[in-house]
Structures are given as C-alpha cells and as structure tokens.
Amino acid sequence: MRPNETLVGQPIRSLQTMLRIIAESDANHPSVVPDGVYGPDTTRAVTYFQRRYGLPVTGVADQSTWESIVSVYQNAEVEILEAEPLLIVLEPGQIIRKGEENPHLYVVQAVLQVLSDFYAGITPPSMTGVLDVATSDSIASFQQMNQLPITGQLDKLTWKNLALHYPIAANANMQP
C-alpha cells in the first residue's frame, strides 16, 4: 500500500484507515476511527479481521496481519471508492478525421451509443474503431447540439463535451 501523504510515519492511523475502509465494504466488520491510538476499538477490529481471515488471533497487527489487511483493503477500496476515470489522451492539436482508425474511437462510439438513447438527435454509430460516415454524423449531431464547431471530427473540445454528457446519460439510462 502506498500510504496517503498525510499518513506517512503514522502506522497506527494507516492501519485504522485501512480497517475503516474494510468495514465500509463489510457490514459485519467493526469500524474504527483513525485517531492514531491503538485502543480497544482497533484491537477489536484487528481481532475480528484475524478471525475472519484465518490468522492467529492476537489483536496485534504483526507483519502477517498487516500484509493481509493491506491486501483486503486494496480490494475493498476498489469496491467503495469511485471508479477510476478513463482519460482519452489526445496530443495537443490532435484531431481524428474521417477515415482514420484509432483505438479511442471504440470508446467514443460507445459513448455516442449511450448518448443516442438520451438525446434523440444522435444516431448510434457502429463499433468499428474508424471514424466512418456514421460516427462522423453522430459526432456532428452532438457538436451541433452543444454549439461546438460542427466538423464531424474528434478533437479535444468535442471529447471534453462527450465526457461531460456521458455520466448524465449513462445514469439516466440505468434508472428503472
């Protein structure tokens, strides 16, 4: 585990923070307030952890317990924290033009498919990885709807707007 900068040199607070995250992903696990004091709540949480994961039950975070907590914490962190954002990296001034093939276009085409369910003016393109006519038309419709320069090409400004609209449309599509 790479500790948060504010926890460097604070192993008890680091332990408590990891145990707290584990407790957030496992309702049966006792929670701990990261106060930096190895008191009864920390001992109880460590003891529970050791019992749950088949470690010698001592209430003390020895090296084996620490390593197990780190491993479980890393998985719990993935479960409870926001998903990592996916950044499309376009070079300064880069524009993907009609007929070009680019792996980013698979993501753009998927985003446009989601947006097409939310915005009536966008026709969903096929997943080709090529800025074909259908993808260009979808991009142009999106650009027009957002008062962007209508080029049918993928540039950074268009990507930024696609990325801003996607969460709204995706979450609306998931509503019952």
Structural domains of the chain, with CATH? 5-80 (1.10.101), 104-174 (no CATH)
Give me the pLDDT at residue 169, please: 87
Q: What is the pLDDT of residues 55-86, one digit of tens each?
A: 999 999 999 999 999 999 999 988 888 877 77
Q: In which residue are the tokens 């709807």 written?
A: 145
| CB 36, CB 10: distance < 8 Å | yes
pLDDT (mean) for 96-111? 96
pLDDT (mean) for 40-46? 97
Q: Is the pLDDT of residue 3 over 50?
A: no
* Chain mean pLDDT for the chain: 90
Give me the pLDDT at residue 2, please: 46
> What tokens were used for 116?
């097409």
Type and span of the H or E element at 110: helix 104-118
Q: What is the pLDDT of residues 128-142, one digit of tens each?
A: 999 999 999 999 999
pLDDT > 70: what percent of the chain? Answer: 93
- Does this model's pTM top 0.85? no
The helix, strand and coil proportions of the chain, stated in percent and rounded to the nearest 5, come to: 55, 0, 45
| b/e map 145-162, b = 16+ CB within 10 Å | beebeebbbbbeebbebb
Give me the pLDDT at residue 115, please: 94
Q: What's the start-to-end Cα distance of the chain, in Å?
A: 39
